[in-house]
Amino acid sequence: MTTSTSRVAIVTGGSGGIGRASALRLAADGTAVVVHYAGNRDRALETVRDIETAGGRAIAVGGDVADEREMLSLFDAAEEAFGGIDVLVHTAGIMPLAPIAELDLETFDRVQRTNVRGTFVVDQLAARRLRAGGAIVNFSTSVTRLQIPGYGAYAASKGAVEAITLILARELRGRDITVNAVAPGPTATPLFFEGKSQEQIDGIAASNPMTRLGTPQDIAETVAFLAGPGRWVNGQVLYVNGGAA
């Protein structure tokens, strides 16, 4: 049953990390949220329950971001549940790490499929279906500036995300839809902690001018700004990293 609401957001990767924090933050602003998940349905449903317990509105929908048919179903579900779509927050992505000389090409292709094709697929649908006044928020990474060894495939994929973002912002001229990318620095999420020793984590945190890792909530504040009041920010990559060089 279709029920209209003031503002509706799709958050890909909304079952955990930055995606979950963004979904909760947008819901706190009164936005109805479609919590997308790839494999962790239970965590997505937990996010939905947390939003509903706080008085918000949400549903969970699964799918592969790089599969255009599954993402079409995601957008259809959002419109059916809430009457339209205003915001896309695309946090879903993968980050296998290895030196370029050692990374197998199958892994490289998987990173590009999820991170680049996935962004293209959901951005294309958003460009076709977001209402006027809408916002697309993609996710890049501060590693494109920091050039950290081991991140070659991931940084390459996010460089492509930035290109898609900046061009789409210009292509949507006259539509009153903003398109930006958030580029977090090291952030305390399972994706970041994977494969790192405590010594490595402590060293990365200490190197930041703020002497800590970012939190998903830190990033979600910027997402909420771009998704709502930040209407004069368009075609930009925002580095949200506590001052990392």
| Rounded CA Rg of the chain | 17
Query: How many whole angstroms separate alpha carbon 143 and alpha carbon 113?
Result: 19
Q: Which of 37, 151, 154, 239 is catalytic?
A: 154
Q: Is 37 a catalytic residue?
A: no
SS3 195: coil
The amino acid present at 195, given as its one-letter code, is: G
Alpha helices in 92-215 (DSSP H): 105-112, 118-129, 143-146, 152-171, 190-193, 198-207
Is beta strand 32-37 parallel, antiparallel or unpaired with respect to 87-90?
Answer: unpaired
Query: How many whole angstroms separate alpha carbon 131 and alpha carbon 175?
Result: 8
Residues with catalytic roles? 154
